[in-house]
Chain A
């Protein structure tokens, strides 16, 4: 019996996966996902998996209840939209939430965006993938039938039921006796990685811009975590000067003042030199700004820093230019002009949430 519900459960999970894939672009543009993140999984609302029927709409939501209170007293919170139906004598029309593990989500992301698996740098960093025939299962393809074990099961059964005749030891396995070899694919990621996020927090970067960064970062991490054994994350904010902050501050800090991108790059470089020697670490830098850099040759300095110091040390340097209320600056354009040919530099523009999908594909599509 266990096999039977297992069978339906697997099918259900497969369908869920398909639905997520189908709507991945939509999910990727929603910040909501982040709020739903548990330790090892994300819970994703999937209204479409319900089977449609002719049913009543819920907006007139009413019913009969039981208990104290006067007319007009609130008894339950709605949830601000149709289909709540928590209250009352009716089974609510639930939006189904499915828990998807982060690994699975990463896998879906990888398949859908056709992301190549990352090839970590350095000799210590090997991801070993191995199929090992370690187990025995009751189901499997005929080619993997384990004769010895099937025979043993049949023998056990016949002895137990008294069918076994030592004088005429004929053993006939029945369906239930058959055993199969089963295998397990093991990934053995050996390498460690660090993500360094840098973000422009000058006045022109508003809440929506930060939200774009936050969502993009969620997907970056989902993917990178699936590729590495462990990940360190560091956050740098900058306006005219740069400093390292914690995650909370990173997404919420807002400063005035001008913008000097080179300050962030210098700090990133210092972090790498002090703490993350490139021989031991896979290093990922993501920098987000609206591209409005201070004049006075700062962009030139950035290009120089990238060319001679940062790019040779990191696996990948990604620059995401988000569009702000004040439009987008020229920084992306300048980088493109001077360093566009460098293999491990990716430049992507994020005008709105819809672009996150493509940006992720740009950033992670190189397999670095």
Chain B
């Protein structure tokens, strides 16, 4: 175990910030801080914050890019924190004390969020150990089957890692576990509809009118048709489906399971990026400006803070958006700027000066922190006034000029675009429709098209990877240039054909 003792001045700073944060009502797991030089910090960052991961080249690639980013001054990591109990947070050695204090306050916000936000409630709080276990298990497989073989299979799994059901941990979906055998008894009993039991034959037309019998027959047929479907309902957790039904060797099963576990662990972080960063930024400002920063530190703090929440037209900064939206909510609930009466008020001036002195702001943002993810957060709290004040706009790419240009400042448009980008994290919705397509054990996936086409070259390579796992032809139904298409990889050739 590494030495995790903080230097005395940082320990003193943390003791102080810890006190303020708890006074403000933050409630977090114990936090273990560690000061690292930038190289080590980037090493851990390359492993997504975990000191131990299984061997894989992409961590090396991430490290290479982080170091390059640092060398060219493009990106600097100040802090990193992992969702675990206790939580681990890393500070960059050599930062000024003011910066370290701000980072500590920021980290307290994150850990409070990890602990209390609903979307994190199912995450593994011993992920540090789990990751280390994964590393050991994969290392064993490597020893046994060879580095190249295992690496190649990890690549294959990673290619599918986004095909999980982000909501699965929160909803029971029994169909996810259906154990319907792939092959059905072909000679299923003939359909026989008898209707209700009739004592006297002459009563039959009355008790079982033809329409009723017809209806019964139809229902039965439907039922049987459905029971032959496999899976019974389209299944979004493609990885789980593969784990259950793909002809995997035991070690491959292990690898795929590990990749899926890790994907689910990281999913809530992606689902709550804006809110989580906003929350942490809210608290570092609050704690620093109201309590922790000395007069001599204010300038340094302000400078640093402004770089965190800096905006540029090309990038929506999640720290900034989250922070401003939380502040907006706090103000609105403090002043009572919500509810039917406020919404229906037509007087612009009255609306602007609205203040019912409710003081519910703090309570409200804690509630937001508990229940929301980015989508519900934006959906519920983004207002036209806010969009105007924050100068939000949508942009689009203009092929003729090769420029990105401002497309609209309409609220509805902005909100729609934002939500679209956030839905499923801007990942396409893909479902397993049929695991026994054409009654030949082929895999049929469907992309629920929502206006944006897939990137076809990637889709093609992903299908190849799916085939490696399913070992039978794989199909993906999608829409290309407004035409419904079926992309197929049959193990040798890739093909595309129009359907319907």
Contact = CB atoms under 8 A, between A and B. Distances in A.
Closest 3 CB pairs of A and B: A8-B60, A12-B60, A52-B461
28 contacts: A7-B55, A8-B60, A11-B57, A52-B159, A53-B160, A54-B162, A54-B430, A55-B162, A56-B426, A56-B452, A57-B456, A59-B453, A60-B451, A61-B404, A62-B394, A64-B414, A65-B313, A65-B395, A67-B312, A68-B391, A69-B393, A74-B401, A74-B403, A76-B313, A78-B402, A79-B402, A96-B61, A96-B65
B397 A59 contact: yes
For chain B, what secondary structure do more than half of its interface residues adopt (helix, strand, loop), or is it mixed? Answer: mixed
A89 B421 contact: yes
A54 B463 CA distance: 9
Interface string B439-481: 0000000010001111111111110010000000000100000
A317 to B, nearest CB: 42
Interface stretch (B16-24, B44-52, B342-350, B357-365): B44-52
A305 B245 CA distance: 76
Contacts of A64: 316, 392-395, 414, 417-418, 421
Contacts of B312: 66-67
B64 interface: yes
Contacts of A67: 311-313, 391, 393
Given A66-B391, A89-B421, A53 B159 contact: yes
Interface string A87-103: 11110010010110000
B67 to A, nearest CB: 9
Nearest to B428: A54
Chain A contact patch, size range: 35 or more
A66 B53 CA distance: 37
A84 B403 CA distance: 11
Contacts of A87: 313-315, 395, 397, 404
A5 B59 contact: yes
A53 B394 contact: no
Given A65-B314, A66-B392, A54 B163 contact: yes
B397 A60 contact: yes
A70 B417 contact: no
B350 to A, nearest CB: 28
A135 interface: no
A50 to B, nearest CB: 8
B405 A56 contact: no
Of the listed residues A12, A64, A72, A75, the one surrounded by the most CB atoms of chain B closer than 10 A to its CB is A64
Interface in B160-185: 160-163
A230 to B, nearest CB: 27
B408 interface: yes
Contacts of A62: 394-397, 407, 417
B5 interface: no
Contacts of B403: 74-78
A56 B428 contact: yes
For chain A, what secondary structure do more than half of its interface residues adopt (helix, strand, loop), or is it mixed? Answer: loop
Chain B contact patch, size range: 35 or more
A144 interface: no
B454 A57 contact: yes
Contacts of A134: none
Contact of B158 (A51, A71, A82): A51
B390 interface: yes
Nearest to B56: A8
A75 B395 contact: yes
A342 interface: no
B417 A63 contact: yes
A67 B388 CA distance: 10
Nearest to B456: A57
A15 interface: yes
B453 A2 contact: no
Nearest to A62: B396
Given A4-B53, A8-B46, A86-B404, 9 more contacts: A8-B63, A9-B64, A52-B457, A54-B430, A60-B451, A65-B315, A66-B316, A67-B311, A86-B314
Contacts of B447: 54
A281 B52 CA distance: 54
Interface string A1-27: 110110111111101000000000000
Nearest to B451: A60
Nearest to B51: A1
Contacts of B401: 74
Contacts of A99: 68
Contacts of B317: 66
B61 A65 contact: no
A88 B46 contact: no
Nearest to A66: B311
B484 interface: no
Contacts of A15: 57
B374 to A, nearest CB: 11
Nearest to A14: B57
A74 to B, nearest CB: 4
A184 to B, nearest CB: 22
Nearest to B405: A74
A69 B313 contact: yes
Contact of B161 (A53, A76, A78): A53
Given A8-B60, A57-B456, A66-B390, A71 B406 contact: yes
B463 to A, nearest CB: 9
A196 B189 CA distance: 88
B58 interface: yes
A98 B60 CA distance: 12
A49 interface: yes
